[in-house]
Structures are given as C-alpha cells and as structure tokens.
Amino acid sequence: MSKFWSPLAASLVPYVPGEQPKDKQYIKLNTNENPYPPSPKVIEAIQAAANEDLRLYPDPTSGALVQSLASYFKVSPSQVFVGNGSDEVLAFAFAAFFDPAKPVLFADITYSFYKVYAEFYGLQADLIPLDEQFRMPLEQFNTRENGGIVIPNPNAPTAMLVPVDEFRSILEHNRDQVVIIDEAYIDFGGESAVKLVADYPNVLVIQTLSKSRSLAGLRVGWAIGSEELIDGLNRVKNSFNSYTLDRLALAGAVAAIEDEDYFQEITVKVNQTRDQTAVRLRELGFVVTDSTANFLFISHPDQAAEHIFQKLREQGVLVRYFKQPRIEHYLRVSIGTDEEMDVFLNVIADIV
C-alpha cells in the first residue's frame, strides 16, 4: 500500500500469470504456450516491418489485419475488432457491454482474469458452479438475471469443450445481454462460435494468436461479432489508446493468419502429442479430463497435486498448480514437444 496510489489502485487484486523463469533449463509446461516456433513467414514479415517506418504511428484501424481476419472468417471487416492480446479485447468488452447494475455470470472454475476485470470495473459477479465432472451447467445461464455472460470454450483450466450449438439457447434467453465466448483454445479440436454471429447480434467471439499460432510474445487477439458490438469495442478502445497494435505486431499477425498450412501442421502435432500423453497418464492412474485444448487437467487419487507439482519442479519440469477450492487436487499441464512430454512422463512416473 502506498500513499501515492489512487483508491482504485489500492483496491485492485491483480491477476498473477504463470511463472516465466529466466533459466532455460526448465521444461515449461505451465502457461499453455505452443512448443513450436511461429511460422517462418511471421519472422520475415516482422523483420521487413522493422526495416520500414517505425518512426510513424501504426494504422489506428489495424486495417490490414482486420481485412485478413474478415476474409479468413468470411465476415465483414465491420464485424472484426483487434487488440493487444485477447486479454485486452476482454478488458474492452467488459467495459463496453457489461451492465454494472446486474451481475456478470461466469463459472466458478474458469479463467481467473474474468474476476479481476469484474473487480476492476466494479461489476458484481455471480459464479455458476461447474458440476461434479466439471461440465458447464448451461441451463443456469438461461435463468439467472445478469448484465452479461462470459464463457471460455474450451474452458480453462478444465480443458473441456461445449458443443457450439449448445450456446444457441443461452443466446436466445439473453437477447438483451452480451454473451462472450472466449475461444483462446478453440483451434485444438473445437468448433468455433463464429458461425453463430450471423444469427445472434449478442454473441462476441474472442480469439488469439497466442496459443495455436505460437505467438504469445506478439500480443494479438481479436473479437468477431455484430457491427453493433464491434462499434462498442471501438468506442472504448478509442477512448483509451487508439493505437493498440504496433507496426511489428500488425505485420506478424497478418503473416500468421495467411500461413494456414503451417498452422494446420503444428496444431495436428500438438493434438497428437496431447492424446498420446493423456493415454500414458491414465495408464499411470491419473484422472484426465477430456481435453480439446493444448493442455491437460489431471489429478492422481493417491498423491497430492501440490506434492507432484513440487517434485516436478525439482526435476526441472514446470506445470501449473492452482491452490483453489474444488481444483486443489488437479494440475494443468501444457502440451510440449514429444521429447518434452517423454521427460515429463518419466519424471511423473517416478513420483506417483
């Protein structure tokens, strides 16, 4: 606490991201990054952009990227908004759409940034408990009064997917509220809710380059929704920082979206490694939720998760442990290369 802090700064409980050790010795399976490098075309595009005019401000509309995303998703450019990582897009969406007079709805076990944003904007949150198997109780979102809804699909950290058409009922029951579907991990086997945008003006689908395009370091995310929603996001953005994406990020992001072959190749690889790792963990006695993401959510009946986490760490493998009610027996393990997962499995086999 400092006398210089505003009441707002003093009241905040910031999000704590996973550890990013300087020490490269660690096998890093703790922050859901992609183990493969980004497309070589991304690096070329960023280098070319660095040799251009960094003296000048970037395009405040991020027009080239908006255009690429519009073509990729077969929507109009007026239905696309881009930002500095999906975290920033989420922050703008909370500000633009959520009614402070009513609670925002999200699951009790979900991406913990939602709670941080709700507090930042002074919104009440009504937490919907996942069922015993960590399934999303969708019908609860139909009946509870709310000023907005946010659901990640697949959910984090459970890795579990809701079939996209099951969101239709929520969208119909909440026609006066915005329903955000956070698709940070959708490319690892799920079907996107972008197809619902044509039918529902209240759905906002948020995606990112951080996971399936291996670009967590570039900070690019986007939202697809009705023109009405995109206008709302632009109002917030242009009242805060009109240049959210820099010239390097813009160039790299366009190249990433255009290199579909590379994206498909590494995504298939990550999914294969995930499915093989899940089989081997089950053989070791672990409970593993059905994952449609680039991570696994695992628990062992005989060993405390915190103990496994510590032992893995001592052996140079970082995973994520959440000291949180209901999931304190679980670990979240990001999918690395086959070689990294072999090391992880050998180490964990000795612990359990």
Question: Which residues of this protein are in contact with ligand PMP, per CB under 6 A?
Answer: 85-87, 111, 152, 156, 182, 184, 208, 210, 216, 221
Q: Which two tokens stand for residue 276?
A: 């093989």
User: Rounded to the nearest whole angstrom, what is the least distance from the CB of residue 220 to ligand PMP in the complex?
Assistant: 7
- Which pair of structure tokens corresponds to residue 152? 């990640």
C-alpha dist (Å) from residue 230 to 83, 93, 120, 121:
12, 9, 22, 20
Instruction: Convert 85-124 to b/e letters by CB count within 10 Å (16 or more is b).
Output: bbbbbbbbbbbbbbeeebbbbbbebbbebbbbbbebeebe
Which helix (H) or strand (E) covers residue 60, if one does?
none
Q: How many CB atoms lie within 10 A of CB 188?
A: 23
What is the maximal distance between C-alpha atoms in the chain? 59
Cβ 63 vs Cβ 243: under 8 Å? no
Least separation in angstroms between residue 324's CB and ligand PMP is 15
Q: How far is the CB of 209 from ligand PMP (least distance, A)?
A: 7
C-alpha to C-alpha distance for 145 and 176, rounded to whole angstroms: 11
Which one, 127 or 345, has the nearer CB to ligand PMP? Answer: 127
- Cβ 178 to ligand PMP shortest distance, Å: 16
Least distance CB 341 / ligand PMP (angstroms):
20
For ligand PMP, the closer of residues 181 and 281 by Cβ is: 181
Smallest separation, CB 291 to ligand PMP (Å): 13
Number of neighbours of residue 250 by Cβ within 10 angstroms = 24
Of 221 and 232, CB closest to ligand PMP: 221
In the complex, minimum distance from the CB of residue 89 to ligand PMP, in angstroms, rounded to a whole number = 8
Nearer to ligand PMP among residue 88 and residue 300 (C-beta): 88
Helices (H), 51-101: 63-73, 85-97
Q: Peptide bond before 100: cis, by omega within 30 degrees of 0? A: no
Q: Which residue has the tokens 């399934």?
A: 135
For ligand PMP, give the closer residue by CB, 83 or 300: 83
Q: Which helix (H) or strand (E) holds 251?
A: helix 247-258
Q: How far is the CB of 105 from ligand PMP (least distance, A)?
A: 16
- Closest to ligand PMP by CB, 90 or 300: 90
Cα separation, 206 vs 224, in Å, equals 7
Rg (CA), the chain: 20
Minimum CB–partner distance for residue 309 and ligand PMP (Å): 18
Beta carbon nearer to ligand PMP, 123 or 206: 206
CB atoms within 10 A of CB 337: 14
Angle, helix 113-120 to helix 85-97, in steps of 10 degrees = 40
The identity of residue 109, as a single letter, is I
Q: Which is nearer to ligand PMP, 27 or 215 (CB)?
A: 215
The residue among 189 and 221 lying less far from ligand PMP, judged by its C-beta, is 221
